[in-house]
Amino acid sequence: MSQAPGAQPSPPSVYHERQRLELCAIHALNNVLQQQLFTQEAADEICKRLAPDSRLNPHRSLLGTGNYDVNVIMAALQGLGLAAVWWDRRRPLSQLALPQVLGLILNLPSPVSLGLLSLPLRRRHWVALRQVDGVYYNLDSKLRAPEALGDEDGVRAFLAAALAQGLCEVLLVVTKEVEEKGSWLRTD
């Protein structure tokens, strides 16, 4: 089927979950994988496996509203045959071999507010970045819609800005093969 003259191609379909409760880790996983694979129940099961004898599970919120830690994200990815590799912030971003990376999950400080009142507290928030049809997107579940970052230069600029703010951690989501070979890192 051909397009009418002057018609713009439709933008790619980008999967994007919006924030609910403190489930940003689940949203980040599903957003980076571009489909709903994880639920709160699945994350809670992972928490139980990680700390089977704990009355108060250290891997999630005491209130049962989410706020999952990195161990839950790593276990969830391992269950799919994927791996999470910590990015060493001391390395230049030019060494990041983005074509070998399925996506990125960032852990960022996030302001706390009650309605319109901003509190002097900071919590942690999980954010996914992913390439879809040649364009990298910020898939932060707090955004109304995915935010296009552009090409590799655009995502590197976004990462540089996030890392420059401090207290930002970056996980590379890669296949087990890429993890084992270390091919997520450029050696040239």
Which residues belong to the active site?
24, 125, 140
Q: Strand locations in the chain, DSSP E?
A: 82-86, 103-114, 117-132, 135-138, 147-150, 169-175
Q: CA 161 to CA 185: how far, in whole Å?
A: 20
Residue 94 is given by DSSP the state G
Question: Within 10 Å of residue 96's Cβ, how many Cβ atoms?
Answer: 21
